[in-house]
Chains A and B, each alone.
Chain A
Amino acid sequence: MSTSMTPPASPMPPETLPGEATRPPVTAAPRGEAQSPLEDSSRRTRWLVTLLIVVALLWTLVPLVWMLMSSFKNAEAVTAATPQFFFSPTLDNYRNLFSGANNLGPYIVHSVLAAGISALLAVGLGALAGYGLARTHMRGKKHLAFWIISTRMAPIAAVVVPLFLIFRGLGLIDSIPGLILAYLTFNLPFAIWLMSAFFAEVPSSLEESALVAGCSRWQAFWMVILPLTKSGLVTTFILCLVFAWNDYAFAVVFSGPSSQTLPIAASQLVTQTGIDWGQLTAIGTIVVVPMMLAGLAVRRWLVTGLTLGAITGE
C-alpha cells in the first residue's frame, strides 16, 4: 500500500512551496541589453525552482493518477503489457468490492471509526495537555516536552509486541476501542507537542485579560485561547487522522474479523493465487481520496498551521 502513504504531501498546493511564495517578482531585462550577473543568477534560481516543483509534482501525482485510472479499467486493460491511456471506463472493480461475501462496507466503517475517534481524542486531549505544557513554569519543562515527543519517535514495530500483550490482557484485541487506543499511543504525544507549540504562540496577556474580565481558567481557554488556535487544531486533527487512516502495522496485529480496516482489506487482495490489480487500485483510490479531499477542504488552515504563527492578528 505504498500509494496510501502519499496523501500528507498532496494537500500541500504547489504555490505554497516556500522558495516560490517568498520570492519577489523577477523582471526580465529588456532584450539586447547586457544582464547584470545578479539578474542572471536570480533567473537561474527561478528556473531551478520551477524544475524542482515539476519533478516533485510528477513524483507525487503520477502514481496517484495511474492508480485512479487503473481502478476504472477492466482486468485486461490493467495488466496489458503496454500501458493504456485510453480505455472505456468501467465501475466493475468498485462493484466487485461492495458485493459478495467480502463486502468492503464494514472495513470502511471500521476505518472511519478507528481513525476518526482516535484523531478526535488525540486533538481533544492533546489540546488540554498542550495548553498546560505551554503555560506551566515548572522546572524541567523542556525535558518533559522532549520526553513526550520522544515516545512518538520509537518505531511502531518496537511497541507492537508489548502493546499486544497489554491489549490481550485487557481484552482489547479485535476491537475498535483497541485500535483507537493503539493509534492514540502514537498520536497523543504528537498532538500534545504540536498543540503546545500553537498555544505558546498565543500571548498570555490574552488569557490574563479574560481572567480579569471574569472568566474562569476553563472559560478563558474555551472562549479566547481555543478559537485562536483553530488552525492548530485542524492541522493536528488532519495529521493524526492521516496517521491512523493509513496505518497497517497496528491494524494487522490488533484487529480481527470484527475490526479490520481498509489497509487490511487491501492486503487481503494479494493472495497466493494472484493479485487483483483492478480491485487493489480501487481500494487504493477509496483510501486516498477522502484524505485528499479533507486536506483540500481545510487547506487554508493547514497552510497557516504548518507554518505556525500569525494567529494573534497583531
Chain B
Amino acid sequence: MSRVLYDEATRVYPGTERPAVDALDLDIHDGEFLVLVGPSGCGKSTSLRMLAGLERVDGGRIAIGDRDVTHLAPRDRDIAMVFQNYALYPHMSVADNMGFALRVMKAPKEEIDRRVKEAAGLLDLTEFLDRKPKALSGGQRQRVAMGRAIVREPKVFLMDEPLSNLDAKLRVQTRTQIAALQRRLGVTTVYVTHDQVEAMTMGDRVAVLKDGVLQQVDTPLRLYQHPANVFVAGFIGSPSMNLAEYPVEGDEAVLDDTRVRLSRETIQALKEEGGDRVILGFRPEGVEVVGEGTPGSFPVTVTVVEELGSDAFLYGQYADTTDPVRLGQTVIARVDPNMPPAKGERVRLRILPGKERLFSVVSGRRLPA
C-alpha cells in the first residue's frame, strides 16, 4: 500500500516530436483506485508502463511511497501488473503462474503454497490450480492474471485494460468483482481503460488523458457534472453530452428562434478572450420535451428513438436552424420511456435550468457560469 506520484513525468518516443506523455502530474492516494482513461493513443498505457518501469521516463519523476522509482528496474518497484492479454506463462500450471513472483523471490515453498491457495480461493480458481492456461476459458484466464497479482502482495496494482478481451456480459460482472476486490485488499491501483463506463464505475477517481496531456482528474460524478473542458464533457457519459456552437448577442446565446441568457461571469470571460460564439453543452437528461411556444425551447426533428425499457433516448436534428455549424448535428435527449415521440415527429426541447455547460470556442475550457 502506497501513494503513487507522477511529477511532470514525460515520455518522448525516439523519432517523434510530440511527447507520448507530456509532463504528467498525478497524485494517487494510498489505497486509491485510480483509472486512466482516454481514446487510443492518448498515452494512458504509456503512463502505466512508465510506472511499471517498462517504459523510460524522459523527464520528471515517478515515486512509489517515499521512494523515487524513476530509474529503477521493474523488479525493484514492488508492483504487480495485469496485462491486456493476461500474459500467462503457457508452459506453467495455474498454481505455478500464480506463485511465479514468489518463486523468483525465493520464498519458502509452504509460504508460496499457502498464498496461492488463498488467492485461488478468493477468485474461485481452486479446482483449476493444476491446469495449464490453455485449458481455461477467457474469464478464468483473466482471474488467474488477477490472482498472480494478488499473490504478490505488492505496493501497487497496475492493470492495463484487463477486461477488454472478455465478452460484454462477463466484462460487466468482472468489473464489479475487481472493484470490490480492490476495496477489500486496499491496495493502491492504477487501472487503464479506453472505456469510459468502466472508468466511471470502477474508479475512486478518474484521470482523463488526451494526446499525452492530462485533461482532468476527479471523482466520476464530478467529472460528469463539472467537466473541465469540451473534450472531457464529450468523452465522459453515454450517450454523450450534446455540444454545439452558438452565436452570442449581448448577454444571450442565440438558439435559433430562442435565446439562453448567460451569466455576467460568462460574458466577462467571453469578452476577455474576444469571442462572439460559445459552446453550449447539455446532457441528454438535462433537457425536457415541452409544448409549442414554451420560452427558451428549440425545435428538433426526431430521426431515431432508442427504447431501452428503463430509458428512452431521442436522436434528432436541429430543425429550422440556419446556422451552418449546427446543420446536420445530432441532438440526443432522454425522454419518457412510457410515451416516447415517434420517428419523424417534431418536438420542442428545453434545457433544464442550471443544466447547461458553457465552454470557450477558443480554448475549449469551461467558462464560469
Chain A positions within 8 Å of B, measured between CB atoms, are 203, 205-206, 208-216, 219, 223-224, 227-228, 311-314
Contact = CB atoms under 8 A, between A and B. Distances in A.
A215 B75 contact: yes
Contacts of A223: 104
A228 B101 CA distance: 18
Contacts of B100: 210, 213
B52 A212 contact: yes
A309 to B, nearest CB: 13
B81 A209 contact: yes
Given A211-B75, A215-B75, A219-B104, A313 B87 contact: no
A205 B90 contact: no
B104 A213 contact: yes
B343 to A, nearest CB: 45
Contacts of A311: 90
Given A206-B87, A206-B89, A313 B133 contact: yes
Contact of B74 (A206, A211, A227, A313): A211
For the complex, would chain A's binding face be called helix, strand, loop or mixed by DSSP majority?
helix
B336 to A, nearest CB: 48
B85 interface: yes
Nearest to B14: A137
Nearest to B81: A212
Given A214-B101, A214-B105, A209 B87 contact: yes
A216 B104 CA distance: 10
A313 B148 CA distance: 18
Given A208-B87, A213-B148, 7 more contacts: A205-B87, A206-B89, A211-B75, A212-B79, A224-B89, A313-B90, A313-B132
A203 B87 contact: yes
24 contacts: A203-B85, A208-B52, A208-B81, A208-B87, A210-B104, A211-B75, A212-B74, A212-B75, A212-B80, A213-B75, A213-B80, A213-B100, A213-B101, A213-B104, A213-B148, A213-B152, A214-B75, A214-B105, A215-B75, A224-B89, A228-B90, A313-B90, A313-B91, A314-B85
Nearest to A312: B90
B120 to A, nearest CB: 17
Interface in B83-138: 83-85, 87, 89-91, 100-101, 104-105, 132-134
A203 B89 CA distance: 11
B91 A227 contact: yes
B64 to A, nearest CB: 13
Contacts of B152: 213
Interface of B: 52-54, 73-75, 77, 79-81, 83-85, 87, 89-91, 100-101, 104-105, 132-134, 148, 152, 158
Contacts of B80: 212-213
A212 B53 CA distance: 8
Which of A208, A209, A211, A219 has its CB near the most chain B CB atoms (within 10 A)? Answer: A209
B44 to A, nearest CB: 16
Contacts of A312: 90
Contacts of B81: 208-209, 212
A214 B74 CA distance: 7
A203 B79 CA distance: 21
B104 A214 contact: yes
A214 B80 CA distance: 9
A215 B90 CA distance: 17
Given A209-B81, A212-B79, A214-B75, A313 B104 contact: no
A130 B136 CA distance: 31
A217 to B, nearest CB: 9
Contacts of A313: 90-91, 132-134
A234 to B, nearest CB: 14
Given A213-B101, A215-B104, A313-B134, A208 B83 contact: yes
A213 B80 CA distance: 7
Contacts of B104: 210, 213-215, 219, 223
A205 B145 CA distance: 12
Contact of A208 (B54, B105, B132, B148): B54
Contacts of B53: 211-212
Which of A212, A214, A227, A313 has its CB near the most chain B CB atoms (within 10 A)? Answer: A212
A227 B100 CA distance: 14
Nearest to B84: A205
Which of B53, B83, B152 has its CB near the most chain A CB atoms (within 10 A)? Answer: B83
A206 B81 CA distance: 11
B52 to A, nearest CB: 6
A313 B93 CA distance: 12
B16 to A, nearest CB: 13
B83 A205 contact: yes
Given A212-B80, A313-B132, A228 B91 contact: yes
A57 to B, nearest CB: 34
A300 to B, nearest CB: 15
Contacts of B79: 212
List of 5 A-B pairs having minimum Cβ-Cβ separation, nearest first: A313-B90, A213-B101, A209-B87, A205-B87, A313-B134
A215 to B, nearest CB: 5
A213 B100 CA distance: 7
A227 B89 CA distance: 10
Contacts of A228: 89-91
Nearest to A208: B54
